[in-house]
Structure 1
Amino acid sequence: MTSLQGSSILILGATGGLGRHLARQLADAGAQLTLSARSMTDLEALGIPGQLVPADLTDPAAARTLVATAVTTHGRLDGVVNAAGAVAFGAVADTSDETIEALWEINALAPMRMLRAAIPSLRDSADEGRAPFVLTLSGVVSEHPTNGIGAYSAVKSALAAYVQVAAREVRKSGIRVIDARPGHTETALSRHPIAGETPKFPTGLEPAAVAQRIIAAIVGDERDLPSSAFSDVPAATSQMVPTDEAETSTGAHPAVTMAAQMPLEAAESAPVGSAVGSAPAPAAD
């Protein structure tokens, strides 16, 4: 079992619809938090104790800065939770290079840089007898690429592959790398695509319950969270976007059926490292 009491954890995308639940639950468990998102105003509005660090994750230097801040503030780094992300909708034929590049920077390159930057400090944590971890969210689309979000599915699949290799490489150092792949979670991310229009989709999973399942995996020393691991997580009681009755495949896993048209993470405001619209935000903060 991994104790969260007194542990130093860095959370990226802490103001998002899922990130804020993870942050609150980790704080309630006694973790010392370093909370990051693009907007300091949104970070302050959370009201969650911790070191607040606004950052643009498309900046190549951001990962090193965030790790250094966590270590300086709390004396060490024991865990990283990457809940930042952006989504774009549209057929493959209609997806621009600009959109693909923005999705790649935010959903793949940024967490890759963060994992790499955190390894030395996490090794130190392991050497001191703790149980350090990195948690990423590649989502069910990395298991089942989905029509209408081909570019998003592709970059999330790349992240999942990178994390799988990293997990094997750092395991002997005592670092656990966990990839969580819940189905569509009922948050506001879909209302802020960087391209395309939000489609109709079935009611998603309850975000607080998804966060609870992820934290249970951290505490329980689990090493992977496939979509099937979220099969007992309840659906939300209301929808962000109304939908018609969905057609489902009788042969599909329930988590895959629920997520058939959408990705997973969330942001209550504009996605970290991106702007609402068809173009990526400038990499400056």
Structure 2
Amino acid sequence: MRSALITGASAGLGAEFARQLAADGADLVLVARSNARLEALAAELRAAHGVRVEVLVADLARTRDVERVAKRLCSEKHPISLLINNAGFGLPLHFADNDIDDEVRHLRVHVEASMRLMHAALSVMRGRGGRIINVASVAGFISRSTYSACKSWLIGFSRWANAEYAQDRVSVTAVCPGFTHTSFHERMGLAPGDEGVPDLMWLDARDVVREALRDAARGKAVSIPSLRYKAIVALTKVLPASLTAGVARRGRV
């Protein structure tokens, strides 16, 4: 993989994608809201692997910022061969109690920004070839407020796009991890253990990213890291939605 653009790259799965791709020799464009964290990661990767790393500060809830990232994706001088739509954040599950503006911003980042960036990437990847990874979630297979709805959209759209653009040598993969040790929960104000999730259900970010990149290279439409979550997704197809929704409420994101 020659070059990759990663949104939400300053921490969590985004930073882990950056580290593994840089170790494999890929040049990177790192996108997030925090300039200081992006610059620190970029310096680390340049020093460790000698790759070219660009920093692009953007808030993907803002249309103008999304347009700037889309413009970078369309660059012919420094083409992008892998787009990773990873930016996102969680909200409390009680939709009616949440601020509606927060919910709209949540939708824009998870769905609208991902769609716009996919559109930009496809405009230059078709025929030339490329890969798109959309970081979704196992939550996309169950009923779990708007977070689940956003991730379900990503999964469905990725499945369609992977089939539709295969003839153009472009693969689209929805990566669907379960609970993963990152800073995601801390940003929601949750301390370790507050989520109410057994230790057995937690995944390591390095394993998630490793399997995601492997599945994307194979052209898979959906990647579900770990056998335990593959089994859970299989069960969601046969269990009543009311039951899976009840179980899902035990976790916080």
What residue number does 2:101 align with?
Answer: 98
SS at match of 1:34: strand
Conservation of the 8 A alpha-carbon contact between 2:70 and 2:116: no
* More strand, by proportion: 2
Opposite residue 59 of structure 1, the aligned amino acid is: R
The aligned runs of 1:1-285 (5 Å cut-off) are 4=1, 7-46=2-41, 47-49=44-46, 50-69=53-72, 72=75, 75-123=78-126, 125-126=128-129, 132-146=130-144, 150-193=145-188, 199-203=195-199, 204-225=202-223, 227=224, 229-231=225-227, 261-263=251-253
After superposition, the C-alpha distances for 1:30-49 in whole angstroms (9 at most, x for unaligned) are 11111111111110111223
Report how far residue 109 of structure 1 moved.
1.1
Residues of 2 paired with 1:216 and 1:183: CA distance? 17
After superposition, the C-alpha distances for 1:259-283 in whole angstroms (9 at most, x for unaligned) are 96255xxxxxxxxxxxxxxxxxxxx
* Bigger relative contact order, structure 1 or 2 (CA pairs below 8 A, ≥6 apart): 1
Residues of 2 paired with 1:70 and 1:104: CA distance? 22
User: Which moves more between the two structures, 180-189 or 59-68?
Assistant: 59-68
* More helix, by proportion: 2
Report how far residue 155 of structure 1 moved.
1.8
Residues of 2 paired with 1:140 and 1:97: CA distance? 24
After superposition, the C-alpha distances for 1:234-269 in whole angstroms (9 at most, x for unaligned) are xxxxxxxxxxxxxxx9x958xx98996255xxxxxx
The TM-score, its normalising length taken from structure 1, stands at 0.71
Cα pair distance change 1:96/1:63, threshold 3 Å = closer
After superposition, the C-alpha distances for 1:109-130 in whole angstroms (9 at most, x for unaligned) are 111111011111212532xxxx
Report how far residue 180 of structure 1 moved.
0.7
After superposition, the C-alpha distances for 1:130-170 in whole angstroms (9 at most, x for unaligned) are xx110001100111223xxx121122222222323322332
SS at match of 2:31: strand
Gapped runs of 5+ residues in structure 2?
Answer: 47-52, 237-243
Residues of 1 paired with 2:64 and 2:213: CA distance? 28
After superposition, the C-alpha distances for 1:196-229 in whole angstroms (9 at most, x for unaligned) are xx6432332111111111122233333321x3x4
What residue number does 2:241 align with?
Answer: none
Conservation of the 8 A alpha-carbon contact between 2:136 and 2:154: yes
